[in-house]
């Protein structure tokens, strides 16, 4: 800014210090238009009467008496006497060399102020735009005079600052510029207004604008011997300006596209887009300026969200819509558009719309992925046979699956950690290990619950939180495994026990024969016993192997075929024939061929076992055993009944009948392994059939094998019209 400088008015004031007398030996003509030239001694009172503020007069007197230089702004009534006040800078410059003499002269100058103070503001007082004050610098740019407002502006006491260079109070990055400017100004007295960042004592920056004026009395070499300066605190303005700059930067740096349209024109043309808009759409400001926004939709105009968006815009409301938009390359992107109306504050007229463009294509893609994963997780979680519990960050159960509810019967959803654990602990026996404690040490616990059903549950905790407590719990019902383990151990113990007896006999009798001499008939008896026991041992081993083989096969893995029962039953009966011995077996068959689903060899094994038992456990009485083929309990089944009139069994015996190694009379004369029925049952079930027993102690037993009729089998005859026929044993 170039300062406009109207003609200054000056006068010379001579002070006679001992008598405190003032004289005005010289005053220029301009001065007289501003302030009077009073008679001797009435200098200040005359000036005060002419409008010089009394405070200013006191200060002037003080400066004159000290014989020093000063400058400050004042206001005086306009020479036009129209009641206006005019701004001046009052400058006092002592004439060199006379400061210490009892009589000294100072030049007092009034410079019409080219930066007038705002009306109503007193010079040096905080004005509407901020504090204004004056200061003087000597030739070395040291502070030689300071207004008291300096303290208010910078926080530094004036006494502590006088004599120090002004640059001490200027931000380091601006010091060189200041010195350079003032250096240039010595050659060109027109010093542009400077903006300077001053350092407040607190460390804050205070922005001032400064008008520099050269001191009046130049040095003999023509250089200015100092400066006076008017400072104006413009911090608020500068901060506002900075904020505008920052806003502009923010728009440029924003991660959202910004588009502004002019709402005062009917086609609402784009007037601004930020760089991010260009990044998203591929269109630059030049390419889109003046076009309405809808070109972004390409040909894809039928979008559900467009109509509500238009309505909101017409109402002048804010609106958000998800739009299918197209980049310059033609690629589709999903635009989550937020629109806000801009209204002119004074007129209330809608002037612009600001649209915030968010490219949410990637987000939508990720969301779809996450939601699919969540669905998969949900179904995994739902179908998981293990009970699952997950705690949220607040320590509440937020995920419970059905398996957990089925296992424990506990409605755990929403329970806090403490309530959950105490409900769980209550299901175990009192005195059971503290579950929560155990799991927080990262262990997997086996836990015996009593309610709602007795079970053994394995609990595993994972995803330990900061406090070491698991956030995810898996509950596995291991009752069956535990039971199986127990049974296996028991089986091994029983099998070993069963083998020990024949082994002991074989060993004992053979030792006897080796160590002693027996007559031939005793030797034969001993050998027969050894032979019988080894046969028993062999039967036991065969049965065990059989059972192990059957149990190792997965259910359903036995290959099945249609088997015709009549020939098979004849075969079974034939296998018990002994030459020259009467058969105790009788057979009754259905008139037509009956086909069932089975494996011929296995079914024969089952039937032979049952017939053998029936013969064995009725042998003492020598009564007949009957094998009958009948329609089953439903139209899909046929039954083979094996009935004997032997020893029969009690109800308690029947309960344990199919248990491995179970024998009613293990020490009796009838030999056996106690595995036959167990094998028969396993095999029948693997062929899709079942075995039933009815028996009465001392009366006899009926074993019924139910088998599934094959589709290719013959139609079942009506039993009422075609009774089973007695067939003599072949």
Residues in contact with ligand ADP by CB under 6 A are: 613-614, 617, 644, 646-649, 657, 662-664, 672-678, 701
Min dist CB 690 to ligand ADP, Å, is: 16
User: Which residue's CB atom is positioned nearest to ligand ADP?
Assistant: 672
Residue 466 makes CB contacts below 8 A (sequence gap 6+) with none
Alpha-helical runs (H) found in 162-226? 172-187
Q: Which is nearer to ligand ADP, 432 or 616 (CB)?
A: 616
Min dist CB 436 to ligand ADP, Å, is: 49
Q: Are 664 and 617 in contact (CB under 8 A)?
A: no
Q: Which is nearer to ligand ADP, 257 or 672 (CB)?
A: 672
SS3 category, 260: strand
Q: Which is nearer to ligand ADP, 67 or 648 (CB)?
A: 648
Min dist CB 484 to ligand ADP, Å, is: 21
Q: Which is nearer to ligand ADP, 280 or 657 (CB)?
A: 657
Task: Name the token pair of 269.
Answer: 């043309």
> Parallel, antiparallel, or unpaired: how do β-strands 625-631 and 585-589 relate?
parallel
Q: Which is nearer to ligand ADP, 3 or 503 (CB)?
A: 503
Q: What is the DSSP string of 308-377?
A: HHHHHHHHT--EEEEEEEE-TTS-EEEEEEEEEEEE-TTT--EEEEEEEEEE-HHHHHHHHHHHHHHHHH
Nearest CA among 147, 71, 144, 84 for reference residue 111: 71
Task: Name the token pair of 211.
Answer: 């008008």
Residue 524 makes CB contacts below 8 A (sequence gap 6+) with none
d(C-alpha 145, C-alpha 130), whole Å: 21
Tokens 């604008």 correspond to what residue? 209
d(C-alpha 63, C-alpha 107), whole Å: 11
Q: Which is nearer to ligand ADP, 193 or 616 (CB)?
A: 616
* 487: Cα separation from own chain's centroid: 47
Nearest CA among 702, 695, 704, 703 for reference residue 649: 695
Partners of 657 in beta bridges: none
For 248, phi and psi rounded to 5 degrees?
A: -65, -45
Q: Which is nearer to ligand ADP, 482 or 693 (CB)?
A: 693
Min dist CB 673 to ligand ADP, Å, is: 5
d(C-alpha 450, C-alpha 656), whole Å: 26
Min dist CB 663 to ligand ADP, Å, is: 3
Q: Burial of 323 by CB count in 10 Å (0-12 exposed, 13-18 middle, 19+ buried)?
A: buried
SS3 category, 181: helix
Nearest CA among 649, 637, 627 for reference residue 697: 649
Helix axes 479-515 and 520-552, enclosed angle (nearest 10):
160
Angle at 100 between CA 94 and CA 101, to 5 degrees: 95
Min dist CB 447 to ligand ADP, Å, is: 37
Q: Which is nearer to ligand ADP, 459 or 603 (CB)?
A: 603
Length of the chain: 730
Q: Which is nearer to ligand ADP, 228 or 703 (CB)?
A: 703
Task: Name the token pair of 279.
Answer: 């990044």
Min dist CB 616 to ligand ADP, Å, is: 6
Min dist CB 701 to ligand ADP, Å, is: 4
Min dist CB 678 to ligand ADP, Å, is: 6
3-state SS string over 640-687?
EEEECCCCCCCHHHHHHCCCCCCCCCCCCCCCCCCCHHHHHHHHHHHC
Q: Which is nearer to ligand ADP, 129 or 605 (CB)?
A: 605
User: CA torsion sign, 363 to 366 to 368 to 371?
Assistant: negative
Q: Which is nearer to ligand ADP, 132 or 660 (CB)?
A: 660
Min dist CB 592 to ligand ADP, Å, is: 29
Q: Which is nearer to ligand ADP, 262 or 604 (CB)?
A: 604
Task: Name the token pair of 43.
Answer: 């200098």
For 7, phi and psi rounded to 5 degrees?
A: -65, 125
C-alpha distances (whole Å) from 325 to each of 251, 313, 362 are 22, 18, 14
Q: Which is nearer to ligand ADP, 145 or 642 (CB)?
A: 642
Min dist CB 565 to ligand ADP, Å, is: 21
Nearest CA among 242, 238, 202 for reference residue 129: 238
Min dist CB 676 to ligand ADP, Å, is: 3
Nearest CA among 620, 621, 568, 625 for reference residue 593: 568
Q: Which is nearer to ligand ADP, 73 or 689 (CB)?
A: 689
Min dist CB 441 to ligand ADP, Å, is: 48
Q: Which is nearer to ligand ADP, 165 or 674 (CB)?
A: 674
Q: What is the DSSP string of 114-129?
A: SSPPPTTPPTTSEETT
Min dist CB 573 to ligand ADP, Å, is: 16
Min dist CB 610 to ligand ADP, Å, is: 7
Min dist CB 487 to ligand ADP, Å, is: 17
Q: Which is nearer to ligand ADP, 161 or 657 (CB)?
A: 657
């Amino acid at each position: 800014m170039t300062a406009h400088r109207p003609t200054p008015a000056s006068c010379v004031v001579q002070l006679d210090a001992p008598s405190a007398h003032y004289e005005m030996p010289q005053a220029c003509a301009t001065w007289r238009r501003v302030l009077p030239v009073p008679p001797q001694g009435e200098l200040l009172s005359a000036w005060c009467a002419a409008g010089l503020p009394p405070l200013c007069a006191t200060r002037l007197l003080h400066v004159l008496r000290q014989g020093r230089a000063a400058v400050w702004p004042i206001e005086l009534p306009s020479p036009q006497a129209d009641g206006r006040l005019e701004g001046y800078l009052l400058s006092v410059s002592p004439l060199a060399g006379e400061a210490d003499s009892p009589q000294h002269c100072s030049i007092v100058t009034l410079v019409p102020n080219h930066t007038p103070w705002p009306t109503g503001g007193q010079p040096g007082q905080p004005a509407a735009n901020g504090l204004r004050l004056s200061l003087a610098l000597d030739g070395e740019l040291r502070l030689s005079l300071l207004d008291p407002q300096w303290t208010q502006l910078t926080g530094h006491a004036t006494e502590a600052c006088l004599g120090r260079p002004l640059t001490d109070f200027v931000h380091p990055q601006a010091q060189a510029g200041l010195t350079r400017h003032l250096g240039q100004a010595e050659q060109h007295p027109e010093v542009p207004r400077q903006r300077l960042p001053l350092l407040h004592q607190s460390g804050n920056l205070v922005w001032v604008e400064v008008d520099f004026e050269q001191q009046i009395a130049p040095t003999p070499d023509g250089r200015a011997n100092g400066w006076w300066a008017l400072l104006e605190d413009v911090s608020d303005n500068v901060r506002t300006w900075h904020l505008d700059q920052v806003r502009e930067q923010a728009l440029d740096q924003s991660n959202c596209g910004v588009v502004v349209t002019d709402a005062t024109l009917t086609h609402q043309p784009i007037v601004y887009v930020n760089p991010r808009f260009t990044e998203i759409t591929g269109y630059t400001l030049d390419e889109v300026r003046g076009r309405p926004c809808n070109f972004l939709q390409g040909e894809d105009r039928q979008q559900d969200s467009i109509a509500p968006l238009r309505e909101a815009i017409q109402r002048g409301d804010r609106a958000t819509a998800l739009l299918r938009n197209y980049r310059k390359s033609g690629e589709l992107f999903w635009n989550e558009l937020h629109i806000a109306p801009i209204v002119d504050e004074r007129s209330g007229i809608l002037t612009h719309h600001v649209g915030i463009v968010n490219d949410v294509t990637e987000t939508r893609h990720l969301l779809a992925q996450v939601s699919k994963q969540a669905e998969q997780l949900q179904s995994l979680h739902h179908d998981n046979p293990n009970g699952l519990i997950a705690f949220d960050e607040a320590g509440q159960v937020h995920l419970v699956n059905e398996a957990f509810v089925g296992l424990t019967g506990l409605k755990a959803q929403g329970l806090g950690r403490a309530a959950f654990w105490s409900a769980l602990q209550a299901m175990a026996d009192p005195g059971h290990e503290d579950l929560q404690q155990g799991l927080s040490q990262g262990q997997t616990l086996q836990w015996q619950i009593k309610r709602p059903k007795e079970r053994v549950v394995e609990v595993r905790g994972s995803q330990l939180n900061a406090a070491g407590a698991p956030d995810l719990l898996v509950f596995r019902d291991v009752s069956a495994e535990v039971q199986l383990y127990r049974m296996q151990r028991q089986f091994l113990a029983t099998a070993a026990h069963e083998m020990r007896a024949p082994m002991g006999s074989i060993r004992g009798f053979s030792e006897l024969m080796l160590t002693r001499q027996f007559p031939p008939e005793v030797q034969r008896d001993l050998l027969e016993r050894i032979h019988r026991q080894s046969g028993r041992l062999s039967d036991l081993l065969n049965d065990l192997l059989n059972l192990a083989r059957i149990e190792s096969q997965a259910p359903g893995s036995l290959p099945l075929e249609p088997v015709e029962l009549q020939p098979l039953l004849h075969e079974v009966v034939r296998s018990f024939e002994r030459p020259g011995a009467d058969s105790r077996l009788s057979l009754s068959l259905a008139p037509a061929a009956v086909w069932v689903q089975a494996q011929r060899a296995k079914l024969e094994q089952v039937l032979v076992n049952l017939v053998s038992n029936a013969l064995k456990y009725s042998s003492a009485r020598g009564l007949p055993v009957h094998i009958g083929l009948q329609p089953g309990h439903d139209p899909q089944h046929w039954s083979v009944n094996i009935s004997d009139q032997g020893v029969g069994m009690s109800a308690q015996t029947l309960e344990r009948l199919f248990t491995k190694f179970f024998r009613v009379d293990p020490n009796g004369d009838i030999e056996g392994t106690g595995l036959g029925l167990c094998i028969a049952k396993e095999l029948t079930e693997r062929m899709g059939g079942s075995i039933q027993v009815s028996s009465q102690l001392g009366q006899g037993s009926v074993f019924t094998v139910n088998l599934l009729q094959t589709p290719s089998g013959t139609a079942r005859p009506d039993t009422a019209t075609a009774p089973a026929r007695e067939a003599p044993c072949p």
